[in-house]
Amino acid sequence: MEKRKEKVKRVKGGLKKRRRGLSRRQKETGGDMEGNDDLLTIPGVGPKNLRKLVEKGFTGMAELKQFYKDKFHGKSTETMVEYLQSSVGIIHKNHAESITTFIQESVDEELKVLNSGARPKPKKRLTFCVEGNISVGKTTFLKRIVSDTIELRDLVEVVPEPIDKWQDVGPDHFNILDAFYADPSRYAYTFQNYVFVTRVMQERESSGGLKPLRLMERSVFSDRMVFVRAVHEAKWMNEMEISIYDSWFDPVVSVLPGLIPDAFIYLRASPDTCHKRMMHRKREEEGGVSLDYLYDLHEKHESWLFPFESGNHGVLSVSKLPSNLDNSLHPDIRDRVFYLEGDHMHSSIQKGPCFDS
- Catalytic amino acids? 217
Beta-strand pair 315-316/337-340:
antiparallel
Give the chain's radius of gyration (CA, Å). 32
Q: Tell whether the torsion through CA atoms of 100, 102, 103 and 104 is positive or negative.
A: positive
**Cα–Cα nearest to 57, from 87, 77, 78:** 87
Per-position b or e across 269-303, b if 16+ CB within 10 A of its CB:
bebeebbebbeeeeeebeeebeeebbbbbbebbeb
Beta bridge partners of 159: 216
Q: Angle 291-305/271-281 helices, nearest 10 degrees?
A: 130
Where are the strands (E) in 14-150, listed by range?
126-131
Secondary structure of residue 294 in the 3-state scheme = helix
> Are residues 155 and 141 in contact, defined by beta-carbon separation less than 8 angstroms?
no
> Are residues 176 and 169 in contact, defined by beta-carbon separation less than 8 angstroms?
yes
How far apart are alpha carbons 180 and 236 in whole angstroms? 10
Under 8 Å CB-to-CB from 57, ≥6 apart: which residues?
A: 63
Residues in the chain: 357
